[in-house]
Amino acid sequence: MALVIYNSLSRKKEEFVPLHPGRVNMYVCGPTVYDYPHIGHAKSYITFDIVVRYLRYLQYNVLYVQNITDVGHLLDSGEDRILRGAQREKIEPMVLVERYTRAYFEAMDALNVLRPDISPRASGHIPEQIQVIELLLQKGFAYERNGSVYFDIARWPAYGKLSGRDVNEQLAGARLEINEEKRHPADFALWKRAEAEHIMQWSSPWGRGYPGWHIECSAMSMKYLGESIDIHGGGMENQFPHHECEIAQSEAATGVPFVRYWMHHNMVLVNGVKMSKSLGNFTSVQKALHTYNGEQIRFFILSSHYRSPMDFNDEAIKAAAVGLERLHATWHLLRRMEESAPEEGNNAQAEELGERMKNQFEREMNDDFNTPAAIAQLFDHSREINKLLSGPVTRSAVVTVRQMFGQLAGDVLGILPREQQGFMTADPFIHLIVRLREQLRTLKNWQLADEIRCRMLELGVEIKDGKAGSEWQYKR
RNA sequence: GGCGGCGUAGCCAAGUGGCUAAGGCGGAGGUCUGCAAAACCUCUAUUCAUCGGUUCGAUUCCGAUCGCCGCCUCCA
Q: Is A436 exposed, middle or buried (0-12, 13-18, 19+ CB in 10 A)?
A: exposed
Query: Which are the contacts of A232, defined by CB distance < 8 A and separation ≥ 6?
Result: A26, A27, A28, A221, A243, A246, A258, A259, A261, A262, A263
> Of residues A322 and A196, which shows the higher confidence score?
A322
> Of residues A364 and A336, which shows the higher confidence score?
A364
> What pLDDT is attached to residue A476?
64
Q: Do the beta carbons of residue A91 and residue A274 sit within 8 Å?
A: no
> What pLDDT is attached to residue A139?
94
**pLDDT-based confidence at residue A174 (cuts at 50, 70, 90):** very low
The torsion angle over the Cα atoms of residues A27, A32, A36 and A40, rounded to 10 degrees, is -50
- With b for 16 or more beta-carbon neighbours within 10 A and e for fewer, the A300-339 pattern comes to bbbbbbbbeebebeeeebeebbeebeebbebbbbbebbee
> What pLDDT is attached to residue A172?
44
Region A339-348: mean pLDDT is 77
| Single-letter amino acid, residue A419 | E
Query: Which are the contacts of A69, defined by CB distance < 8 A and separation ≥ 6?
Result: A30, A31, A32, A33, A122, A213, A216
Region A176-192: mean pLDDT is 78
Whether CB of A84 is under 7 Å from strand B: the answer is no
| Residue nearest B24, CA–C1′ metric | A323
Checking if the pLDDT of A247 tops 50, the result is yes
| Averaged pLDDT of chain A | 89
Cα–Cα nearest to A303, from A327, A285, A283, A320? A320
Query: Which are the contacts of A394, defined by CB distance < 8 A and separation ≥ 6?
Result: A341, A342, A343, A344, A345, A346, A347, A350
Whether CB of A450 is under 7 Å from strand B: the answer is yes
> Of residues A298 and A87, which shows the higher confidence score?
A298
The percent of residues in chain A predicted with pLDDT above 90, rounded, is 59
A336/A191 Cα distance (integer angstroms): 60
Region A6-22: mean pLDDT is 91
A253-300 pLDDT, tens per residue?
999 999 999 999 998 888 777 777 666 778 899 999 999 999 999 999
∠ Cα A297 A302 A307 (to 5°): 125
A16/A4 Cα distance (integer angstroms): 5
How distant is C1' of B39 from CA of A339, in Å? 19
CB atoms near residue A236 (< 10 Å):
15
Cα–Cα nearest to A378, from A408, A400, A352, A355? A408
Region A72-93: mean pLDDT is 80
Region A230-257: mean pLDDT is 91
> What pLDDT is attached to residue A385?
95
| Single-letter amino acid, residue A308 | S
Which residues lie across from A65 on neighbouring strands? Answer: A27, A118
> What pLDDT is attached to residue A81?
81
CB atoms near residue A127 (< 10 Å):
10
Pick out the nucleotide with least CA–C1' distance to A163. Answer: B3
> Of residues A279 and A428, which shows the higher confidence score?
A428
> What pLDDT is attached to residue A424?
65
Checking if the pLDDT of A472 tops 90, the result is no
Residues 86-145 of A with CB under 7 A from strand B: none
Structural element, H or E, at residue A398: helix A395-405
Q: Do the beta carbons of residue A297 and residue A375 sit within 8 Å?
A: no
Whether CB of A236 is under 7 Å from strand B: the answer is yes
Angle between helices A39-57 and A93-110 in degrees, nearest 10 = 60
**pLDDT-based confidence at residue A20 (cuts at 50, 70, 90):** very high
> What pLDDT is attached to residue A320?
94
Whether CB of A309 is under 7 Å from strand B: the answer is yes
| Single-letter amino acid, residue A138 | Q
Cα–Cα nearest to A389, from A339, A352, A347, A337? A337
**pLDDT-based confidence at residue A196 (cuts at 50, 70, 90):** confident
| Residue count (chain A) | 476
Which residues lie across from A210 on neighbouring strands? Answer: A192
> What pLDDT is attached to residue A16?
94
Checking if the pLDDT of A89 tops 80, the result is yes
Checking if the pLDDT of A441 tops 50, the result is yes
Please tell me what DSSP assigns to residue A257: -
Tell me whether the omega of the peptide bond preceding residue A342 falls within 30 degrees of 0, making it cis.
Answer: no
Pick out the nucleotide with least CA–C1' distance to A272. Answer: B69
Region A455-465: mean pLDDT is 89
Pick out the nucleotide with least CA–C1' distance to A270. Answer: B69
Residues 259-288 of A with CB under 7 A from strand B: 265-269, 272-279
Q: Do the beta carbons of residue A24 and residue A57 sit within 8 Å?
A: no
∠ Cα A420 A425 A429 (to 5°): 135
Q: Which domains does chain A have, with CATH numbers?
A: 4-141+153-163+214-302 (3.40.50.620), 319-412 (1.20.120.640), 427-474 (no CATH)
| Range with the poorest average pLDDT among A167-181, A272-286, A415-429 | A167-181
Q: Do the beta carbons of residue A181 and residue A160 sit within 8 Å?
A: no
